[in-house]
Amino acid sequence: MSEAVIEKVDNDGMVRLTINRPKALNALNSEVLSALEAHLVELEAHPNLRAVLITGAGEKSFVAGADITEMREKTPEEARAFASQALRTIKRLETLPVPVVALVNGFCLGGGCELALACDWAVASDNAVFGQPEVLLGVIPGFGGTQRLPRRVGPAMAIDLVTTGRKIDAQEALRIGLVNRVMPQAELESYAEELTKQLKGNGPQSVRGAKQAVHDGMDQDLDSALALETSLFAFCFAGDEQKEGMSAFVEKRKPNF
Ligand code: CAA
């Protein structure tokens, strides 16, 4: 498989994907998108997948956008095909049945921000820079930014960002809810380790169920979404995880999921 995306999987199904094009600040070209999609197709079939962390190679950039050099000479039809490839790939990431977390280690611009928006949550290094600067290039966001950004930060802030193309720092990204946490770059690794440990300690099926309830419920009216939650909650009682988790509490020991 191409080295444009590096995958590390541990024995417990914790996966780290690294976009690996540091000389171009990990910009997303067709090769990177194909490599990412190939990994995601494999991960969709992974029976014991627990969580996915995604980051960029090097210390400067998460992803600095779609590849401008590659896009420069595209026709409208080619641009549509490129955006479709990216949207399909990003959707695969978003719909993995386990938590997907972006470790944003620097520039997170254009297509990079759109990739992070498809993750369940993002944590950023304090030197990270965010933005949708497409209007500076004579285009609009094409990898989902006009749709996922307002859903995450609200329409007013989204329209501010996509029409001015201004860049924001990690603290502003935190304030508007684009990222969950900000930390010094050197601490991103220990955060990843801590998160991995935490998720490994939880019931794998309940973690999947909790993500499914939020994701599927968001597209429904409140009453339907609450009914969905009840079904997924009741379904937990059909498996071993609930028996083990609750028995462990009563017996004052750690659960063994
Ligand atoms: N596409 C292609 N190459 C890129 C790139 C991109 N999005 N971003 C950076 N690079 C390349 C640069 O061309 C440069 O390559 P060379 O060394 O061969 O010249 C290399 O990465 C390093 O970049 P800089 O020298 O520019 O680094 P810097 O520290 O001076 O600046 C930066 C960093 C502010 C991120 C600057 O590179 C930049 O503005 N990049 C473009 C960001 C951008 O506009 N992203 C949106 C792209 S459009 C998009 O994503 C559309 C969409 O929704 C689908």
Show which residues are catalytic.
114, 134
| Residue 155 included in any domain | yes
**Domain with 217 in it:** 203-250
Q: Which atom of ligand 1 is nearest to the CA of 109?
A: 45
The answer to whether residues 133 and 233 belong to one domain is: no
**Per-residue model confidence as pLDDT tens digits over 58-96:** 999 999 999 999 999 999 999 999 999 999 999 999 999
| Residue 65 included in any domain | yes
Q: Which residues of 195-219 are buried (b: 16+ CB within 10 A; e: fewer)?
A: bbeebbebbbbbbbbbbebeeebee
Find the CATH number of the domain harbouring 58. Answer: 3.90.226.10
- Candidates 203, 211, 193, 191; CA nearest to 237 is 203
Pocket of ligand 1 contains residue 49 by CB under 6 Å:
no
| Residue 186 included in any domain | yes
| Residue 1 included in any domain | no
| Residue 257 included in any domain | no
- Per-position DSSP letters for 144-187, written without gaps between them: SHHHHHHHHH-HHHHHHHHHH---EEHHHHHHTTS-SEEE-GGG
The answer to whether residues 101 and 168 belong to one domain is: yes
Q: Rounded CA gap, 239 and 224, in Å?
A: 24
The answer to whether residues 30 and 151 belong to one domain is: yes
Split into its structural domains, the chain has a count of 2
| Residue 104 included in any domain | yes
Pocket of ligand 1 contains residue 111 by CB under 6 Å:
yes
The answer to whether residues 120 and 145 belong to one domain is: yes
| Residue 140 included in any domain | yes
**Per-residue model confidence as pLDDT tens digits over 188-206:** 999 999 999 999 999 999 9
Enter the pTM of the model. Answer: 0.97
Q: How many CB atoms lie within 10 A of CB 164?
A: 13
Q: In the numeric block, which tokens belong to residue 52?
A: 């996915």
- 2 pLDDT more than 90: no
Are 128 and 185 a contacting pair, CB within 8 Å? no
The answer to whether residues 39 and 13 belong to one domain is: yes
* pLDDT value at residue 1: 76
Pocket of ligand 1 contains residue 37 by CB under 6 Å:
no
